[in-house]
Chains A and B, each alone.
Chain A
């Protein structure tokens, strides 16, 4: 009797397997990711394991940061509610696999845009939400004020799986300095080891250094050296092969930046609906059919601005007011001496 039951279950399982095959191949065209997201009712977003200013959770589990705001903007555009995001904290090592395997739909985790990542491993970078560069942190007491004072035998703590490891090698090699890399899997351990005195210097993106410095036992004992040894344009990433979803994420970010350019804030977006400037009206959904191409309604960008705010508001709330990097530096609008410049929404 049991023998037959066994046969029956294996038969059922086989049929089930074959059935999934057929449905898989008949999968819908257009944007699978958009459809899935609307069906689930939340945006699946990969973030860091805690980097103040970029993506950091408070004690109650509420995520904040400029990287988080990109995901919130997409949720506002696609689902109408910026809070409908499911965050997955990822280590530097896990992040791309999580995205390519379909565990998350947006990776917004201070990730550097490089050629090999964009072209090689099934990812597409959609823009830049923070222009960064790699720097070094040292103890003030060491008397080091510039990387030119580094000597042979220096040890440097950092994260594995990041461009940091590669830049560090290029930098020390070009200066002819022998060094010991101490690479950890998680940022918290890097900070703890450097803080304990395991390494002479701690190297990562300068924004990361500024943010992690706040976690040290005594932040005032450390300084970030002025030199920047690399270009690190950080931005959100999506899977290759879904161009509609890619466009939605790209233009959600662009909307935030352009809204700042036109002075549209979460506070005055309603008033701007009756503005005389058509460019402004397009950004708040009062003119044109800006959402139709993505399969969204016309208020998608209006919702981003009212629920998340423009880029300047996001920066101020997360990075400037928290004391991480009060000076916007290159992350200022092109009209104000920075390099933030996005294509027009029209």
Chain B
């Protein structure tokens, strides 16, 4: 009888191993007959192609490994900005969807139905090419906020030039540590003695004052380099100095944010609606203000419903950022699984690395969100 239990499992395992072995051997054999070798040595070779936009020092004389890092950081950049923005927008739209005001409520539903039902790639193309056509050439651009220019070649903003930036950074970290301990102290005081501090204001004060002091005593100094118009040819201009943010990044962020925010808005709405009406009424009856009801009663419970599906949306946003390749934003797929793969011909190695990278990013997000979800879960006593 025991055999009857084990045999199917054993056969399944054997089957999986055989399938895997078959694919590996098949690939090996085909690569042999076609004279392709497997190996990661190419990562050290000179990449010899340039990349439009990079967060770290890079040019074509650097290695493929460095190009990989450039692509990875660009992917992380667009994902991080997208996640922050779509969360803010999603919460706003989600709450607006529940507004008793007919106009606000209808506008929010229209927004959600419109943006989530159009394929993302189409939206990316739309924002990119529509924006390209609509934006002015550099020489016609008007000043934005007194310092920046929005042009077809990108957004040019002033660049900060720091003196003793490391001192400033250390002070920032220091202030965060102080805030952490202050909050722990305030919580204990409230639990033990019922004393309430204005926690938010004091934290904000610490966060501003300590870094500000470094400007006076730490020798920290900040100046700005402003973008200036430069003529390249008779009708061809660009900006020099300052930071140039490529239109590809702007279009991609915009499309990813607008698209993903629709799903998050629905999660938020579901979360809030999932809390029984009685909760709200009970909270109000003990004299809590509407703000306190939302902050202390509704949200802590709603978050438990909102977070798991929102984690999925964060993962989707990160994976969808690979559509960047279509509009020349140099993300991991375009730089590494695109140009680098073509120049080296190492399809199997590069696809494997790229897959492993996305898997790692996704799992990290997932692990963090699960931890957060656990930390806010109601602790059953």
Give me the interface of A with B, judged by CB distance under 8 Å. 3, 6-7, 10-11, 13-14, 17, 20-21, 24, 92-93, 96-97, 100-102, 116-117, 120-123, 138-139, 141-144, 149-151, 153-155, 157, 160-162, 165-166, 168-169, 173, 179-186, 189, 192-193, 196-198, 200, 239-241
Contact = CB atoms under 8 A, between A and B. Distances in A.
Nearest to A165: B49
A93 B234 contact: no
Contacts of B22: 17, 20-21
B327 A184 contact: yes
B129 interface: yes
Given A6-B8, A139-B236, A200-B236, A189 B50 contact: no
B236 to A, nearest CB: 5
Interface in B107-140: 129, 132-133, 137
Given A10-B12, A17-B18, A241 B132 contact: no
Contacts, number: 158
A7 B8 contact: yes
Nearest to B12: A10
Contact of A153 (B33, B230, B235): B230
Contacts of A197: 132, 137, 152
B81 interface: no
Interface string B1-13: 0001001100110
A160 B12 CA distance: 43
B288 interface: no
Interface stretch (B72-80, B213-221, B290-298, B333-341): B333-341
A142 B237 CA distance: 10
A309 to B, nearest CB: 33
B132 A162 contact: no
A154 B232 contact: yes
Please indicate which of the listed interface residues A24, A139, A141, A161 has the most CB atoms of chain B within 10 Å of its own CB: A161
Interface string B232-248: 11111010100000111
12 contacts: A7-B11, A17-B18, A93-B338, A100-B345, A121-B346, A144-B234, A153-B230, A153-B240, A169-B60, A182-B246, A183-B339, A185-B338
Contacts of B15: 10, 13-14
B88 interface: no
A239 B14 CA distance: 34
Nearest to B248: A182
Contact of B342 (A93, A138, A139, A150): A93
Nearest to A99: B34
A122 B235 contact: no
A173 B137 CA distance: 27
Instruction: Give the interface SS of chain B, mostly helix, strand, loop or mixed.
Output: helix
A149 B52 contact: no
A13 B18 CA distance: 10
Nearest 3 A-B pairs (CB), nearest first? A121-B345, A161-B342, A143-B234
B210 interface: no
A288 B308 CA distance: 76
A86 to B, nearest CB: 21
Contacts of B347: 96-97, 100
A198 B236 contact: no
A117 B234 CA distance: 40
A179 B29 CA distance: 44
Contacts of A166: 48-49, 60, 343
A183 B334 contact: yes
A169 B347 CA distance: 23
B152 A189 contact: no
Contacts of A189: 326-328
Contact of B48 (A11, A162, A169): A169
A120 B129 CA distance: 38
Contact of A155 (B8, B153, B344): B153
A20 B11 CA distance: 19
B19 interface: yes
Interface in B1-52: 4, 7-8, 11-12, 14-15, 18-19, 22, 26, 29-31, 33-36, 48-52
Given A193-B328, A196-B133, A240 B342 contact: no
A151 B233 CA distance: 8
Contacts of A154: 232, 236, 238
Nearest to A172: B50
B338 A155 contact: no
Contact of B132 (A121, A173, A193): A193
Contacts of A192: 129
Given A10-B15, A166-B49, A240 B35 contact: yes
A144 B26 CA distance: 54
B328 A120 contact: no
Contacts of B89: none
Given A100-B34, A153-B240, A14 B18 contact: yes
B36 A100 contact: yes
B90 interface: no
Contacts of A120: 344-345
Nearest to B36: A122
Nearest to B49: A165
B271 interface: no
B240 A180 contact: no
Interface in B213-268: 230, 232-236, 238, 240, 246-248
